Amino acid sequence: MTTLQEKKCLPCEGGVDPLSHAESEKLLGQLNKWHLSEDGKTITKAYSFKNFYHTMSFVNAIAFIANQENHHPDMEVGYDYCRVTFMTHAIGGLSENDFICAAKIDDLG
């Protein structure tokens, strides 16, 4: 079985249904401490760091992953924190791409 980390994001231009709440919860089980929104449209994880340098290093690593996968999160960034949210905007909800990128971020440590 291929893990989420081993997969590549597929282009999504819309025209497909977002994942169901049950499908999202199943994929969520493969992630580390990500949270599914009540409406089932996003997954989010909050990170904290000891200083701005470490925060920005993490943000840059996420940017690298996002550009490699051509799937980009929303991020809220401050001095010692970063909150990452994934949603496939073209379909107004979650796709497997969101979980693939989240899993790759989990691998950052």
d(CA 56, CA 77): 8
Residue 56 CB-density burial (10 A; 0-12 exposed, 13-18 middle, 19+ buried): middle
d(CA 78, CA 35): 20
Domain membership flag for residue 23:
no
Domain membership flag for residue 25:
no
Q: What is the pLDDT along the chain (109 residues), one digit of tens a residue?
A: 789 988 998 888 778 899 999 999 999 999 999 999 999 999 999 999 999 999 999 999 999 999 999 999 999 999 999 999 999 999 999 999 999 999 999 999 6
- Give the per-residue pLDDT at 36: 98
Number of neighbouring beta carbons within 10 Å of residue 41: 19
Domain membership flag for residue 53:
yes
Give residue 109's domain range. 42-109
Residue 55 belongs to domain with CATH number = 3.30.1360.20
For residue 12 the two structure tokens come to 């999504």
Count the domains in the chain.
Answer: 1
Whether pTM > 0.75 for this model: the answer is yes
